[in-house]
Structure formats: C-alpha cells, structure tokens
C-alpha cells in the first residue's frame, strides 16, 4: 500500500531530505502545496505577536544575534519587563488580530529566581484568551513543569542550523543542550516551537541537516519557524553575509517546501526576514506550505512588516486568520 505523504515520518535519512531539495522547483512546490492542503486550509494563516521582555546582555555567542554581550552592536541591555507592561502589549496584540503571544528573553537559561515573575506573565496572557509561547533559553525539567502549570502552551527553542554547521554559529551551548531542553518541554506536556535560521553561509546540505534533525525528533515541532537571516552589523555572521550576500529567494522557498514535506502537520512559520521579502516571494512561501507569520512592526530586535502592510498582503492574496482548530477545518474540507 502506498504511504500517505501527509502522515508524519520520523525515519527520514539526511540523503532523502537533501534529495527533496534537489527536486525540480515546480514539482517540489506542487507536492508541498498538495501535502499542505491535506491537513490545513491553504488560505488560513496563523498570526503571532513577539515581544522582547528582556533585551540584550545575553552570555551566548550566537553569531547572528544583536543581543549577545560578546558583540558590539549598539544594543543596550535592559532588565526584565514588569508583568503589567507585558499584559498591556498582549492586549494590544490581541486587538491587532494576533491569536498567539510570544515572549522572548535574552538569557542563556532561565533562572529559578525569575520563574515566578514569568509564571505571572504567562497566566495573565493566557487569561486574555491568547495562546502563550515563550523563549527563555535552556530549561530544567522542573522549570518546564512550572511554566506548563502557569499556562504556557508553546516553548520556543530553535536548533538554529544543522548539526554539522552548528559550531560555525555558536559555541557556548551544544546541540545536545538544545535537544535536552526540547525533551524537558515535551515531558512537561507543552508543545514545541522549534526551527532555525537559513542564509547564514551554510550549504544546502546543512539546511537539509536542520530539517532532518527536526523531522527525526521524537515528536515533530507543533510550530516550525523558518527564519531568513537579518544581517546585523557588529555580529560575525551579519558582517559576513552583508559582504557575501543573502540567501537566494527561491532557495528559501525550497526550504519552506521541504519543511512542509518532512513535517507535514507542523505549523510552518514564515518568520524573520519578511521585511525585505516581496509580496510575490511571500506568496510563493505560502503556496509551498508556510501558514504562520509574526505580525507587528518589530520582532525581538529586528524590523517586521507593519499591520497595514500585512493587511494589504492578506487582502491581495485572499488570506484569512487561522482559527483555533486549523487541522479540523481542513480535514472536513478535504472529506467533503
């Protein structure tokens, strides 16, 4: 019996994933679009809002990041925001059409002393009727359980790149450190938000390595962000890419399409880098299986299209906000 391509696999090989990248572009995008439609409404896009609740001063040396204390990017380190200010931002995000509110702190790892304050933020955002997501660095098993108890739905912890290129990006934490945090998150009963960044000087095989790592996790990420590097002056990778050039747009679309094929039921987010993408390039990404974006004019420290620009994009492409149960509607449509 032929296997349904819309059913998740966890036995992908790296060579198989790399072979997907090498498929003729039109065939690759067509297949990804078909798989996407087996699970999701292709016109529905999830809107999330991301807020930096603690900016700068991070002890990590991620070569792309303006928030690292290792690099001189002109970014001033700030303290953790008060819960009241975070809730005000969440209220505004909901009024602007966001269904998920993501909170990011520039930490190597969450400290136990900060957990109660984070729990209050999470509970407050959850009470607004928004899905909650946080990215706070590495977690212990106990911290993951505390965040889950506070009402955290998703925890973001990206793998960043493939295992073979990882040491070119960061050396202050290991790949296994990242995998361990993801396991703590799953064990606590939270959904994972996990993806990476492309356009950091990696090869296509490295991009395949990232998606292979995601597709062979014990459970595929419920949310899979694909970021295009936003090169920031003063960061090693930012300075390098400013000199060498950014990733080709069609290669980025290929990455979205392969992500959809190897993780067919994940929400694939067209994440950082949209500010410089044309409407046509974004449309190709949505066709290839992306079905989530960040809204609002800023991500953590980098620009993002404003609400008016995204409203215009949605109108031109006949897109709509995703409902609370996206896979149910798609299943019913496909069965009709």
169-180 per-position pLDDT tens digit:
999 999 999 999
- C-alpha angle 141-144-146 in degrees, rounded to nearest 5: 115
Told to judge if 62 belongs to the known catalytic residues of this protein, a careful annotator would answer yes
> In this model, does residue 134 exceed pLDDT 90?
yes
Choosing from 3, 49, 100, 102, the catalytic residue is: 102
Told to judge if 133 belongs to the known catalytic residues of this protein, a careful annotator would answer yes
Told to judge if 102 belongs to the known catalytic residues of this protein, a careful annotator would answer yes
Choosing from 49, 173, 178, 193, the catalytic residue is: 193
What are residue 192's DSSP bridge partners? 155
Choosing from 133, 194, 263, 285, the catalytic residue is: 133
Choosing from 62, 194, 263, 285, the catalytic residue is: 62
Choosing from 49, 269, 274, 285, the catalytic residue is: 269
- What is the rounded radius of gyration, in angstroms, for the C-alpha atoms of the chain? 19
pTM assigned to the model:
0.92
Dihedral (CA of 130, 125, 177, 256) sign:
positive
pLDDT score for 2: 65
Burial-class residue 167 by CB neighbours within 10 Å (0-12, 13-18, 19+).
Answer: exposed
Choosing from 49, 65, 260, 263, the catalytic residue is: 65
Dihedral (CA of 118, 296, 299, 292) sign:
positive
Read off the pLDDT of each residue in 201-222 and give the average, rounded to a whole number.
97
C-beta separation of 195 from 158 below 8 A: yes
Burial-class residue 251 by CB neighbours within 10 Å (0-12, 13-18, 19+).
Answer: middle
d(CA 151, CA 136): 15
Sorting pLDDT into bands at 50, 70 and 90, what band is 1? low
More confident residue, 66 or 323: 66
């Amino acid at each position: 019996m032929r296997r349904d391509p819309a059913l998740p696999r966890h036995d992908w090989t790296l060579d198989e994933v790399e072979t997907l990248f090498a498929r003729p572009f039109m065939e690759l995008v067509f297949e990804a679009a078909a798989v996407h439609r087996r699970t999701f409404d292709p016109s529905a896009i999830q809107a999330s809002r991301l807020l930096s609740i603690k900016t700068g001063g991070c002890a990590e040396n991620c070569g792309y990041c303006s928030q690292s204390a290792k690099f001189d990017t002109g970014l001033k380190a700030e303290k953790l925001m008060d819960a009241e200010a975070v809730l005000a931002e969440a209220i505004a995000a909901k009024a602007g059409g966001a269904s998920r509110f993501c909170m990011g702190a520039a930490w190597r790892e969450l400290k136990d002393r900060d957990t109660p304050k984070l729990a209050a933020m999470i509970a407050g955002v959850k009470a607004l009727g928004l899905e909650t997501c946080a990215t706070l660095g590495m977690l212990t098993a106990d911290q993951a359980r505390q965040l889950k108890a506070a009402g955290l739905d998703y925890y973001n912890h990206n793998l960043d790149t493939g295992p073979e290129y990882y040491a070119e990006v960061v050396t202050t934490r290991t790949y296994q450190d990242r995998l361990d945090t993801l396991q703590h998150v799953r064990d606590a009963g939270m959904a994972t938000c996990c993806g990476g960044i492309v356009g950091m000087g990696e090869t296509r095989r490295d991009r395949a390595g990232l998606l292979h790592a995601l597709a062979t996790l014990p459970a595929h990420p419920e949310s899979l962000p694909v970021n295009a590097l936003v090169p920031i002056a003063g960061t090693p990778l930012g300075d390098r890419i400013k000199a060498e050039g950014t990733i080709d747009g069609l290669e980025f679309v290929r990455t979205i399409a392969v992500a959809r094929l190897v993780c067919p039921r994940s929400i694939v987010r067209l994440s950082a880098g949209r500010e410089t993408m044309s409407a046509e390039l974004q449309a190709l990404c949505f066709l290839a299986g992306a079905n989530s974006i960040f809204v609002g004019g800023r991500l953590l420290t980098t620009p993002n299209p404003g609400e008016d620009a995204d409203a215009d994009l949605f109108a031109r492409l006949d897109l709509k906000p995703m409902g609370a149960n996206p896979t149910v509607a798609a299943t019913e449509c496909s069965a009709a």
